[in-house]
């Protein structure tokens, strides 16, 4: 009897029941996906609550719960600022500034994808193709971090080998995405957001009890290093600001999140949606806090001994699963495990839909000009979803870095490509076809090259400081700059300057986009 109700069996039982429920929802809702616009966009029929909480689930995912906790473990309490800025910039401001104009303009233009918006708004097939290529490649990379978060949770809590955990997680998601499409993703994400929220709340309560409250937490961390307590802490202002901007402002250019504005039933529902998404987004604070608690309870050397097969540079990603295992009763641990898997499933599924729409709609149908019936569009959408998911699975079996490091790499390139064309597309009539394409290429390419150079120890920031030192203008304490920052700055300058000095958009196109 004791073995039957062991912690791992309770975790597994709760997870199986949850997964069965999610697959049933996906299958039942999937029957409504009869044509391409249904499979990729849900027929623009989603209500405010489902839109807002599916946004929360897709935004924060297992990347936040496991990866954010890993950063909390590694960098301490200052990492909570990332969560706070996520709520303000990534939730409230994104919804308030982009939501309504994106919803209205995409309906006027008849676009159902982000690359499709660029083609229709600016008359730029090249922008459609470039954006689609970036989305396909780098969202597959981003999905690796999502799978790694789910795999780490199952590995620690159920004792499964990492590769088994990744394969099981991916197989479940591929099943309901292939069957259900966007509607399945939205409604399962709505449920998953609530599971994630309650799981994190339970973890935070029990973790604070285990450490003896916030005062004991700060006292314990300060004994390890004051950098784990003070702001900006261990990583300095440059690291904290860069990470906060990527994971907050970067949302404005991420297609799996922007598409939520496309699919909401009516533009007026975005007001209540903004409130709901912001309130739901406050959970972003909790993983970082729990990661810091894990650092106080389980020093780094102890975790390395407990998980000898895990490289030392990746040990922080085991912090939250280990905390769950140690402080939560089995029923609450099962709920949190379901929350982690739920969060990962939501994001992974949403990304597969975006990738399949980019391939089928933007590359095959619109760029290569292959004609397809609505039925074939849905079939090929499912096939591409499966293919992209399998590719992410293969890469995730040997992940290259910490979860949030993989995430910020992918987000930096995608956001540097898409963010300014989206924002200027809905607000600035002077933005030109040439300006948008030049901005995409320059911003995305610079962010990518910058990060590659940093990975091979040829950090461009060091060259910048050496150049400025010639004029005695270098900072006293040199720091590294993430590729997102130069990518965004250059993309902004290029879209403005090139648009000013190139041909204006056609009046008829502007009238169609902005209305009379």
Q: Is residue 425 assigned to a domain?
A: no
Q: In this structure, what token pair is assigned to residue 383?
A: 């096939």
Q: Is residue 178 assigned to a domain?
A: yes
Q: Is residue 269 assigned to a domain?
A: yes
How far is Cα of residue 377 from the mean position of the Cα atoms in its chain? 26
Q: Is residue 263 assigned to a domain?
A: yes
Q: In this structure, what token pair is assigned to residue 178?
A: 């292939």
Q: Cα–Cα distances in Å, from 271 out to 52, 87, 258?
A: 10, 16, 16
Residue 508 φ/ψ, nearest 5 degrees: -65, -40
Q: Is residue 203 assigned to a domain?
A: yes
Residue-level pLDDT at 26: 67
What SS3 state is found at 24?
helix
Q: Give dist(CA 270, CA 268) in Å, integer.
A: 5
Q: Which of 82, 406, 79, 405 is nearest to 244 (CA)?
A: 82
Q: Residue 281 sits in a domain of what CATH number?
A: 1.20.1730.10
Question: Residues 6 or more apart from 205 whose CB is under 8 A from it?
Answer: none
- Compute the Cα dihedral for 85, 187, 154, 293 and give only its sign: positive
Q: The pTM is what?
A: 0.88
Residue-level pLDDT at 2: 45
The answer to whether 49 touches 276, Cβ cutoff 8 Å, is yes
Q: At what angle do helices 319-327 and 285-297 cross, to 10 degrees?
A: 70
Q: Give dist(CA 112, CA 261) in Å, integer.
A: 11
Q: Cα–Cα distances in Å, from 263 out to 103, 107, 123, 414?
A: 8, 10, 23, 21
Ramachandran region, residue 428 (left: φ > 0; alpha: ψ -120 to 50; beta: rest): beta
Q: Is residue 142 assigned to a domain?
A: yes
Q: Give dist(CA 454, CA 384) in Å, integer.
A: 32
The answer to whether 314 touches 151, Cβ cutoff 8 Å, is no
| Residue tagged 């600001």 (tokens) | 241
- By residue range, what is the domain housing residue 216? 38-400
The answer to whether 372 touches 181, Cβ cutoff 8 Å, is no
Q: Is residue 109 assigned to a domain?
A: yes
Block means of pLDDT (10 residues each) for the chain, length 516 residues? 64 82 71 60 83 90 83 93 94 96 94 93 95 93 85 83 87 69 77 86 94 95 91 80 87 92 92 96 94 95 89 86 89 79 74 88 88 83 86 84 78 94 97 97 95 87 81 71 91 98 94 88
Q: How many domains does the chain have?
A: 1
Residue-level pLDDT at 95: 97
Q: Is residue 123 assigned to a domain?
A: yes
């Amino acid at each position: 009897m004791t073995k039957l109700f062991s912690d791992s069996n309770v975790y597994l039982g709760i997870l199986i029941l949850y997964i069965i429920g999610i697959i049933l929802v996906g299958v039942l809702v999937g029957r409504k996906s009869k044509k391409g616009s249904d499979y990729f966009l849900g027929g623009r029929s989603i209500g405010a609550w489902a839109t807002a909480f599916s946004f929360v689930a897709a935004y924060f995912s297992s990347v936040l719960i496991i990866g954010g906790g890993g950063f909390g473990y590694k960098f301490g309490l200052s990492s909570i600022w990332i969560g706070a800025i996520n709520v303000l910039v990534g939730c409230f401001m994104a919804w308030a500034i982009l939501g309504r104009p994106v919803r209205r303009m995409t309906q006027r233009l008849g676009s159902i994808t982000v690359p499709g918006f660029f083609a229709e708004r600016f008359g730029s097939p090249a922008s459609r193709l470039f954006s689609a290529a970036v989305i396909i490649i780098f969202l597959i990379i981003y999905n690796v971090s999502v799978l790694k978060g789910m795999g780490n949770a199952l590995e620690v809590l159920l004792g499964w080998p990492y590769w088994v955990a990744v394969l099981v997680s991916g197989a479940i998601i591929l099943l309901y995405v292939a069957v259900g499409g966007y509607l399945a993703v939205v409604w399962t994400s709505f449920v998953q957001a609530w599971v994630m929220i309650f799981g994190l709340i339970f973890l935070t309560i029990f973790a604070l009890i285990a450490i003896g409250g916030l005062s004991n937490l700060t006292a314990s961390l300060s004994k390890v290093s004051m950098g784990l307590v003070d702001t900006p802490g261990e990583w300095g202002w440059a690291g904290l600001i860069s990470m906060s901007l990527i994971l907050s402002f970067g949302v404005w250019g991420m297609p799996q999140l922007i598409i939520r504005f496309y699919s909401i039933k009516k533009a007026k529902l975005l007001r209540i949606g903004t409130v709901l998404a912001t309130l739901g987004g406050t959970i972003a604070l909790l993983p970082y806090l729990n990661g810091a608690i894990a650092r106080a309870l389980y020093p780094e050397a102890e975790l390395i001994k407990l998980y000898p097969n895990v490289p030392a540079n990746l040990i922080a990603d085991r912090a939250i699963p280990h905390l769950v295992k140690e402080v939560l009763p089995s029923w609450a641990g099962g709920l949190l495990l379901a929350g982690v898997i739920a969060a990962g499933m939501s994001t992974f599924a949403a990304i597969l839909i975006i990738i399949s729409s980019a391939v089928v709609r933007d590359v095959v149908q619109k760029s290569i000009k292959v004609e397809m019936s609505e039925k074939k569009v849905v079939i090929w959408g499912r096939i591409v979803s499966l293919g992209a998911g399998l590719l992410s699975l293969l890469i995730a079996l040997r992940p290259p870095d910490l979860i949030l490091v993989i995430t910020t790499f992918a987000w930096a390139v995608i956001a540097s490509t898409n963010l300014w064309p989206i924002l200027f597309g809905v607000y600035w009539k002077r933005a030109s076809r040439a300006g948008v394409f030049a901005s995409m290429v320059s911003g995305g390419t610079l962010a990518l090259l910058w990060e590659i150079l940093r990975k091979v120890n040829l950090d461009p920031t060091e060259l910048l400081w050496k150049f400025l030192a010639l004029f005695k203008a270098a900072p006293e304490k040199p720091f590294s700059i993430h590729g997102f920052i130069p990518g965004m700055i250059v993309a902004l300058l290029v879209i403005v300057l090139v648009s000013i000095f190139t041909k204006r958009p056609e009046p008829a196109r502007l009238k169609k986009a902005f209305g009379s």
